[in-house]
Structure 1
Amino acid sequence: MTALPRNVPASTDLHDVRWLRSSYSTGANNCVETARPRSGPWAGLLAVRDSKNPAGPALLFSAGSWAGFTATLH
């Protein structure tokens, strides 16, 4: 069994994704952005990156893990 990747060293490696900014963003570029890769080894995972560093790394989460994380923030 192959372990799922946990990060992408450069979010620019995620081709053909649409990055979405948090609805809580103030426009000051101090939030996170998410994308859902549709192909490649990251398909089906949720990518999360820092909006201040769009070419920087992205963390990868399963949908269930991300939902559990965000549920604890409310």
Structure 2
Amino acid sequence: MLSKAIGKKAARKIASKVVGRFIGRLVPHAGWVLSVKGVWDHRQEIGEITDQLTKNNKENNNNPMWYVR
């Protein structure tokens, strides 16, 4: 009977370590997924901002101090 109880406790510890390791390895991937989703959801605004920055850079190409106020 003692061996069965020890076996169950060991199995529970091993299972919790394996599950914990699995969840720990998923966390960075979940962060990447959320970051990519955020960029995808705001792609229109990001495109407008980069277009405006590109336009400003081209307009002020001959003035190296244009961004200094």
TM bin, normalised by shorter chain, reads under 0.3
TM-score by length of 1: 0.20
Larger Rg belongs to: 2
Higher RCO, 1 or 2 (CA under 8 Å, sep at least 6)?
A: 1
Greater strand content = 1
Greater helix content = 2
